[in-house]
Amino acid sequence: MNRIDDRPLTLVDQHAHAWTPETARARFRAGLTGPTAGVAAGHTQVNLIAVPADWAYEMLLFCQRNPKPCPVLDVTDAGSWTTVLAAGADLRTDLPRYRVWRDGELVDEPTDVLGHWRDDLVSFLIGCSFTFEWALAGAGVPLRHIEQGRNVPMYVTSRQCRPAGRLHGPMVVSMRPVPPEHLAAAIRESSLLPAVHGSPVHCGDPSALGIDDLARPDFGDPVAAEPDDIPVFWACGVTPQAAVMASRPPFAITHAPGQMFLTDARDEQYRVA
């Protein structure tokens, strides 16, 4: 397993969809944790990975070569904990939970990384599929993980990303069960948001991605599907974490899967039509 222990996540407030991004970040800074799907509805959520400067070019190249799972929305200067995506925010404190990696091994899952931060860290903010969920919901597509109060399930696939220098690893996908009558809408609406993973990479039989059991995700929580639901898989911004595990850089900081950074950007800014 990739979680340090089996402690349950603390789910966010039932009214969190109406929070502003500033309110969400303040509550996470104060220690609230949990999956951020549906939080501050209408505002863009992003994945975080921070690597030492001598790995930053390879990370940027890895993202450029694998834009479907790793669409970059911002890159910071070395040592900076601020981003143009959220004025006044602190990348070291304003996520619900982080992961700290040493030599490819998960060593901590704190609620802030003030004690781990380094002056040579370059942070990459990568688009998240939670961003297009507003479009899916608006088109009538049910979101089972939100209905069930669970983190979205994520799986490591057998598809290898294009390597970049020392960085290599498999693509990670998120899965949402979709009723057949809503499949066309799910594909159409997500394809209009390529900066946050865009259209699915696969629909149907999970074994085509090397996934043996949907009830046992590598990250996140299993989600109960309705009998006719089709499993739909989108490229996922946890892919850089899989690359960290495979490539074993000496140090990295990431978000905990499903517990994203809330930006001030509006989702519709990334819609292409």
Residues 119 and 30 in one domain: yes
Helices and strands (H, E) in the chain, number of each type:
6, 11
Residues 25 and 121 in one domain: yes
Q: Considering the domain boundaries, does residue 241 fall inside one?
A: no
Residues 104 and 38 in one domain: yes
Q: Considering the domain boundaries, does residue 100 fall inside one?
A: yes
Q: Given this model, what pLDDT does residue 101 score?
A: 98
Residues 123 and 153 in one domain: no
Nearest C-alpha neighbor of 62 from the set 51, 218, 25? 51
Residues 151 and 222 in one domain: yes
Q: Considering the domain boundaries, does residue 240 fall inside one?
A: no
Tell me if residue 155 falls in helix, strand or coil.
Answer: strand
Tell me if residue 27 falls in helix, strand or coil.
Answer: helix
Residues 81 and 61 in one domain: yes
Q: Say if residues 98 and 28 touch (Cβ distance below 8 Å).
A: no
Residue 153 belongs to what domain range? 131-235
Phi, psi angles (nearest 5°) of residue 130: -60, -25
Q: Given this model, what pLDDT does residue 3 score?
A: 44
Nearest C-alpha neighbor of 166 from the set 240, 247, 102? 247
CATH number at residue 172: 3.30.2040.10
pLDDT per residue rounded down to tens, the chain (273 residues): 344 443 334 445 667 888 999 999 999 999 999 989 889 988 999 999 999 999 999 999 999 999 999 999 999 999 999 999 999 999 999 999 999 999 999 999 999 999 999 999 999 999 998 888 888 999 999 999 988 988 899 999 999 999 999 999 999 999 999 999 999 999 999 999 999 999 999 999 999 999 999 999 999 999 999 999 999 999 999 999 999 999 999 999 999 999 999 999 998 899 987
Q: Considering the domain boundaries, does residue 195 fall inside one?
A: yes
Residues 196 and 263 in one domain: no
Q: Considering the domain boundaries, does residue 193 fall inside one?
A: yes
pLDDT in tens, 58-73: 999 999 999 999 999 9
Residues 20 and 47 in one domain: yes
Number of separate domains in the chain: 2
Residues 155 and 99 in one domain: no
The amino acid at residue 130 is F
Strand residues in 59-153 grouped as ranges (E) = 72-75, 98-102, 105-108, 121-127
C-alpha to C-alpha distance for 101 and 246, rounded to whole angstroms: 12
CATH number at residue 107: 3.40.1640.10
